[in-house]
Every structure is written in C-alpha cells, then in structure tokens.
Amino acid sequence: MPPEHPPGPCAPAHSADRAGAADTARADLLRRLAIRTAERARAGLLRRARTVERAEGPWQEVGGRRLLGFCSNDYLGLAGHPQLIAAFKRVADDEGVGSTAAHLVCGHRREHAALEEALAEWTGRERALLFSSGYQANLGVMQALLARGDLCVQDKLNHASLLDGAQLAGVTLRRYPHADAAAAARQLAGEPGAGALLATDGVFSMDGDRAPLRALAALCRREGAMLMVDDAHGLGVLGPDGAGSVAEAGLGVGEVPVLMATLGKALGCHGAFVAGPAGLIEGLTQFARGFVYTTALPPALAAAALAAVRVARAEAWRRDKLDALIARLRRGAAELGLPLLASDTPIQPLLLGEADAALAAARALEERGLLVGAIRPPTVPAGGARLRITLSAAHEEAHVDRLLDALARLPRAPAAAGAPV
C-alpha cells in the first residue's frame, strides 16, 4: 500500500534519504577485503587449502596422486596409532561424538578430567586446563591475566596467537629481536612499574630453533615478570620423557608458571591445554573467555589424546628414531650445501629467499612425488621464504634419502647463499 501522504517533488529530505547518504560514505567492507585479496594475489602470496583425500602415515593422497609428505606436524607418528583409534571408537560408541556443551555447563566428562590430570603430571604442574585449540588457549590466558596498563614482552617470531592475545588484552606490547634475552631485558626495564608477562614459543614453528628459556627465566626472576611458554612444537619431542622444551631446560613451575601446549602436533590429536599452579588454573576457569564460552572437546577425542600421552611417554624409541632421521637429513644437506636453518628439531627449514623460489621448489618436489610446504610472507618475513620440511617418526631412512635426492636436483637460488646449515 502506498504511503498516505507521499512526498512531493519539492519535499525536504527525510531520515531515510539522510541514511542513504550516510551509507554511501561508509567503507564497502567486502570491496576493501577484495582489494586486499587481489593485492596478495598480485604479489604471488595467495594461499589456498588443498584437499587431502586420504592420509596414511607420512603418505598423503592429493588430486589422485600418492605423495610422500614432509609437511605434517605429526612428529611422533601417532595420528594413526591403533591405540588412539581404539580409545576414540570406544568412547564414541558409548557416549557419541560431541560433548554437547561448554565445560562449565555439562560438557566436562570423565575423559576430560583424566586427560587434564595426565597432562599436569607429565609436565610437572599442579593442574591443567583443556582448550579447544592452541589459539584459544593463548588468547584466553592473556585476556585473563593481563589488564590495561600492563606490559607484554614477546619474541618477534612468536606465533600469531600470542601476539593477538596481547592485542586483545589491550596492553602495551613490546617485541624483541629473535631469541635475544638482552633485548628482552631492555624492554622489561623500560616500564618497571607495570605488571609484566614475557611470552615466547619454546620451539619456533617456522625456524625450528629453541628459545633461550633459562636466560629468559632468570630475566623474569630479576624483573618480577611472569614467564609464559608456548610449547606446541616441543611437547612430546624434547626433554626427559618427552615433557617438552621447558623440561629439557630444567625449569619447573616456579620459573615457568604458564605452560601452553597443543594436542594436535606430536600427540596426533586436536586441542590444547594450559598447565601451571592451581591458582592459575582456577583463575583461567573463571575468566578465560576462550574456555568459558566454548564447547568442550569431544570426549572421544580426549580419550584418544590420553592414549597418545601414554604412548608418547612409554615409547621413547619414537624420539630416538626422530632424532636419527633429523641427523641424517642434516648430514645429507650439509654434504649437498643446502641452506638449512640451524635447527635440531623436526622442523627443518630450507631457506630460499623469495616467494616464487619457494613455490617453484615445492612444485618441483611434488612432480617427484614429495609434498613439502612452501612458506611465504606474511607467515615469514620478506626475503625469508622457505620450504618448511618436517620429519616424523613415521618416516624411514629411505624416505629421507629420497627427499635429499630430490632436493639435490633443485635449482640453486642465489638468495639462499650464505644461509646457515
């Protein structure tokens, strides 16, 4: 039905007209996003997910081809372990798949409680708290611990979730040059009156090297700051009993009150946890929004992760085999003059410099039946594009030799000259 008094040709502009004018002045958010995406495409930095049709140990079926993968974080080869699969099926058969609610409603099951106890005991902490992902865990910790006016000091190569966590908390964020404890000390000393958290990866996901944890712990003790370590890539792989880089450094809960690690890398499952003193865990239970307002992990997955903890601790041969494979790759790379970064962890980056060189190398390897990730900016700094080679206890010596043979056939990029091996 038409309006009772339609406006005439000389009628003044109404609020609807003013709203329309205001709308035209707003930024077109989708267009702005499209422009950013197009810019990334022009720079050759567009990223797309590739569908893996089937995974079996280190083998990945992609586009109908069976490829030998060197890009998984399944460091101990546990993702397909029969004990993990059996634990998952047993609970799923009994209780179904989903937890159906957040932990604090009715989603916290006996499988979650048992896993938290096992993780706390393994890492030498009083208690542990499960999160649905490592990203949520890091955001939750910082949002709960920090307040405006506080200081967060971080390594420049920290995982994005640590940086985002500090920004979400609204604190002053200071970043120090990679692994430079003296520079971290200067950042802390610059704001002596602020509450302070120093956060670092234990093992850096793109370089594969370790943080100087003992030096950072001593610094935090002197400055009265709290130390937080994201050990996503160290747990299960490093330290006595596979307890991680913090345990390897001989540091306990007094030196590292906040320990985060994931269940989706060496343990072959999914999810994450934070471990520390009872007071920390109680506080996170109350105030970490990523825990409070998120559906709990499926109980069957928690059961599988508990089985993974037991296997990882009991089967030390997996770490021994992994160490031997890492040494074999590095010896071969040194003989070939390949510019591997200095790392003795399963993450073995081959520095190639420019993004197009990394993409070309990855494609050449794929033509030879090998799947290796090409890592480009903005994940790594400009000029730091690389092949991120990762090893697993599921690999065999013949697999490493096949990779080395294929790497030897790659064109040598001048940008990589002089990189450490």
Of 42-56, 223-237, 330-344, which range is least confident? 42-56
- Same structural domain, 191 and 133: yes
Domain limit, last residue, from 314, 339, 365: 314
pTM over 0.75: yes
- Whether residue 188 is found in the same domain as residue 218: yes
Q: Answer with the one of 280, 314, 348 that is the final residue of a domain.
A: 314
What pLDDT band is residue 17 in, cutting at 50, 70 and 90?
low
Domain presence at residue 20? no
- Other C-beta atoms closer than 10 Å to the C-beta of 167 total 13
Binding-site sequence positions: 47, 134-135, 159, 205, 233, 262, 379
Dihedral over alpha carbons 58, 61, 63, 64 (to 10 degrees): 140
Query: 102 CB contacts (<8 Å, ≥6 apart)?
Result: 292, 293, 294, 295, 296
Shared domain for 135 and 278, answered yes or no, is yes
Kind of pairing, strands 151-155 and 65-69? Answer: unpaired
Q: What are phi and psi of 148, to 5 degrees?
A: -55, 135
Q: Is residue 224 part of a domain?
A: yes
Final residue of a domain: which of 314, 332, 350? 314
Residue 309, domain member (yes or no):
yes
Residue of 265, 270, 321, 395 marked catalytic: 265
In a domain, 3, yes or no: no
Instruction: Provide the residue count of the chain.
Output: 421
Query: Are residues 59 and 95 both part of a single domain?
Result: no
Binding site residues for substrate, as ranges?
47, 159, 379
The question of whether 205 is a catalytic residue gets the answer: yes
Asked if residue 345 and residue 321 are part of one domain, the reply reads: yes
Answer with the residue of higher pLDDT: 12 or 158. 158
Using CB atoms within 10 Å of the CB of residue 276, give its burial: 0 to 12 exposed, 13 to 18 middle, 19+ buried. Answer: buried
Considering the domain architecture, whether residues 359 and 310 belong to the same structural domain is answered as no
Whole-number Å distance between alpha carbons of 105 and 409? 57
| Claim to verify: residue 275 and residue 128 sit in the same structural domain | yes
Q: What band does 3 get if pLDDT is binned at 50, 70 and 90?
A: very low
21 belongs to a structural domain: no
Please give the pLDDT value at position 10: 45
Within this chain, do residues 183 and 207 fall inside the same structural domain, yes or no?
yes
Task: Tell me: do 242 and 363 sit in the same domain.
Answer: no
State the DSSP code for 296. Answer: P
Give the DSSP H/E element, type plus range, for residue 408.
helix 397-408
Known active-site residue 245: no
**299 and 229 share one domain:** yes
119 and 247 Cβ atoms separated by less than 8 Å: no
Which residues span the domain enclosing 392? Answer: 52-76+316-416
Our CA dihedral for 115, 121, 122, 125, rounded to 10 degrees, sits at 110
Statement: residue 4 has pLDDT above 90 = no
Query: What CATH code is carried by the domain that includes residue 56?
Result: 3.90.1150.10
**For the domain that residue 168 is a member of, what is the CATH number?**
3.40.640.10
Please classify residue 90 by burial: count the beta carbons closer than 10 Å to its beta carbon, then call 0-12 exposed, 13-18 middle and 19+ buried: middle
Query: Is 13 domain-assigned?
Result: no
Confidence of residue 47 (pLDDT cuts 50, 70, 90): confident
Identified catalytic residue from 205, 245, 343, 392 = 205
Grouping H, G, I as helix, E, B as strand and the rest as coil, residue 21 is: helix
Total count of domains within the chain: 2
Say which residue the tokens 């993780």 belong to.
119
Verify that 356 and 220 share a domain, yes or no.
no
Using CA atoms, how far apart are residues 380 and 354, in angstroms rounded to an integer?
A: 11
CB of 163 closer than 8 Å to CB of 154: yes
- Does residue 378 have a cis peptide bond before it, meaning omega lies within 30 degrees of 0? yes
Give CA separation, 18 vs 8, 11, 304, in Å.
17, 13, 59
CA 246-202-69 angle, 5° bins: 120
Catalytic entry in 103, 108, 112, 233: 233
Going along 177-257, which residue ranges are E strands? 196-201, 226-230
User: Could you tell me which residues come within 8 angstroms of residue 30 by beta carbon, excluding any fewer than 6 positions away?
Assistant: none
Higher pLDDT pick, 50 / 127: 127
Same domain, 327 and 298: no
Indicate whether 31 belongs to any domain.
Answer: no
Whether 81 sits among the annotated catalytic residues: the reply is no
Q: What is the predicted pLDDT for the residue at 9?
A: 41
What are 176-193's pLDDT values in tens digits? 999 999 999 999 999 999
Looking at the domain assignment, is residue 304 inside a domain? yes
Given the structure tokens 């009872």, which residue do they identify? 278
Q: What span, in angstroms and rounded, lies between the C-alpha atoms of 329 and 397?
A: 9
Residue 34 CA neighbour count, 13 Å, CB half: 5
Q: What confidence category does residue 240 fall into, taking pLDDT thresholds of 50, 70 and 90?
A: very high
Which two tokens mark 116? 């938290």
Q: Which residues are annotated as a binding site for pyridoxal 5'-phosphate?
A: 134-135, 205, 233, 262
Is the distance from CB of 116 to CB of 128 less than 8 angstroms?
yes
